[in-house]
Structure 1
Amino acid sequence: MPTTITGLVLLVILLLPGLTFVIVQERRGSEHRLTPFRETGVVVFGSVIAEMFTLGIFGVARALMPGLTPDVGRIVREGTEYARNHYVEICWWAVGLLLFSCLVAAIAALLTRNNPHPSAASAWWIMFDSWFPGENPVVGCVLEDGSYVEGRQASFNVSSDDSPDRDLVLVEPLKYRAPGAAEATPFPWGAVCISARQIVTMFVSYPLDSEVAAGVVATQVSDPAAS
């Protein structure tokens, strides 16, 4: 661990690519809670890989454009004297390489989208994203008091833990059936937020289901032998 403020700042700066990787991946996948050791390992490993790749690109640029890049050999040989004479160039290149490393980490996170194994994901993530990613299915929820709410899924908590302390947001067209009522009727509101703690049973209907059903019906009508 660094023992000076300067060392601590440099450590934080060098870990920025790995932190970028973790943040971007969390935004695009199920939020799986890692142990502090594993989370630290991901940040450090991501930073090292992104920065090694960036240094490789810098090495190629140094070989092709020696007059436009800082002289690493002189930095090693002359140390602070060369840095004082070329501090503007060195600072610009350092900031540029750091930003490029963060960009590399972000692209890596986007290309390796966090699709967890079903054993490490919540039931909500499996139903709402894993099976049919990008869809907004129609969801029906039977609540503890016997009421029923139906609407199109708009937002849900992506935590990998099936915790009751999370919410599900449904948007219009909404339907509601009061406790003891026979049928669900249209509900004249734009959105509803339902606590997972109140949900007893959840039904999900995917848009693809209706398309497949329509295709089957069309096939049967056009080909009587199919029936």
Structure 2
Amino acid sequence: MIPQTLGALAGFLALVAPGIVFELRRERRRGRHQETAFREASRVALGSLVFTLVSVLLMTALQTTGARLFVSPADWLTRGEAYSREHLTLIVVSVAVELAVACALATGFEAFFAHRRGEAATVQQRSAWAQALRADRPPGTRAWAHAQLENGTSFYGYVRSYTPSGPLADRELVLEGEAMTSENDGATKVIGEDWRRVVIPGSKITYLRVTYLDAATGEPADVAYATREVTDK
């Protein structure tokens, strides 16, 4: 069922937001697992329902103390549209507070369970290619890569672009530079003077070695950054 009005869409997003917050924080610590869309959606919906109900109960309990800070669910259900027109601002404030409380509960419960399981570290949702070619690259440097192919051929060159994630069969690596080199059966040939770029399918790469050269001089960067070998098949 698709929401037909802006208000219905906003209400739907507010309802599922706590479950999404819980799942996103959970994936940061445990990584993402392959599962069916139905199972993932069911977990988000169940989490959202629980956190929303707890949030509504807390707000209702606050109302019973005599404070009239939020809408009255009973009056809203009884009078319907007339109540909505008369208390539109109060309804908006109540929904915003409920959403904030529910998301805070989701964040707090996730942190509590993570602490009990000892999951203090954050899992990076990136591939080894993205880590080595972008995240680990020092400022002012370029990534120089050695791609070893299945047939024994090697290519050396500056990394022009690459597919950062997804199945290895769908990834591609592009090398460039005047010093770009091809090596096959012990014969080494500089091909950068004749060919501008080489596009290498990720599925053909046995391993990928990366180092970082100064972008201005072409000299090796700080020795603290060792050459990295990527084998995330």
Richer in strand (by share): 2
Which residue is 1:178 aligned to? 182
- C-alpha separation between the residues in 1 aligned to 2:90 and 2:170? 52
The percent of aligned pairs where both chains have the same amino acid is 21
Equivalent in the alignment of 2:45: 44
**Structure 1: which 5+ runs fail to align?**
214-227
Partner of 1:220: none
| Paired residues for 1:27-38 under 5 Å | 32-38=33-39
- Which of the numbers 203, 208, 211 marks the counterpart of 2:224? 211
CA displacement 1:128-150 (0-9 Å, x = unmatched): 65x9x952486431235724134
State whether residues 178 and 191 of structure 2, in contact with CA within 8 Å, keep that contact through their aligned partners in structure 1.
Answer: yes
Q: Give TM-score, length-normalised by structure 1.
A: 0.51
Shift of 1:151: 4.5
Seen in structure 2, the aligned counterparts of structure 1 residues 15 and 46 have a Cα distance that, compared at 3 Å, is same
C-alpha distance in 2, partners of 1:178/1:53? 63
Structure-1 residue corresponding to 2:56: 55
Aligned residue in 2 for 1:223 = none
Other structure's SS at 2:147 match: strand
SS at match of 1:45: helix
Residue type at the aligned position of 1:149: Y
Amino acid of the structure 1 residue aligned with 2:127: W
Decide whether the 8 Å contact of 1:61 with 1:69 is kept in 2: no
Amino acid at match of 1:85: E
Give the aligned partner of residue 157 of structure 1.
164
1:35, distance to aligned residue in structure 2 (A): 0.9
Contact 1:16/1:102 (8 A) holds in 2: yes
Cα distance, 1:196 vs structure 2: 0.8
Report how far residue 164 of structure 1 moved: 0.7
Q: For 2:28 and 2:165, locate their aligned partners in 1 and report how far apart those are by CA, in whole Å.
A: 9
User: What residue is the counterpart of 2:127 in the other structure?
Assistant: 125
Q: CA deviation at 1:44?
A: 1.2
Contact 2:19 2:45 in 1 (8 A): yes
Q: Determine the C-alpha separation between the residues in 2 that align with 1:84 and 1:197.
A: 61
- Measured against aligned partners, the alpha-carbon deviations of 1:52-81 in whole angstroms (never above 9, x if no partner) come to 4643664576478823322345446x4425
Q: 1:86 to 1:38 in 2, by over 3 A?
A: same
Cα-Cα RMSD: 5.7
- 2:140 corresponds to: none
For 1:89, the aligned partner's letter is: L
Aligned to 1:69: 70
Q: Equivalent residue for 2:217?
A: none
Q: 1:12 to 1:71 in 2, by over 3 A?
A: closer
Q: Which runs of 5+ in 2 are unaligned?
A: 138-142, 213-221, 227-233
Question: In 2, Cα distance between the equivalents of 1:164 and 1:126?
Answer: 15
How far 1:198 moved relative to its partner? 3.4
Shift, 1:114, TM fit? 7.0
- Measured at CA, do residues 47 and 155 of structure 1 come closer, stay the same or move farther in structure 2, by a change above 3 Å? farther
Question: Is the 8 Å Cα contact of residues 173 and 200 (structure 2) preserved in structure 1?
Answer: yes
TM superposition shift of 1:85: 3.0
Which structure's residues are more often helix, by fraction? 1
Letter paired with 1:211:
A
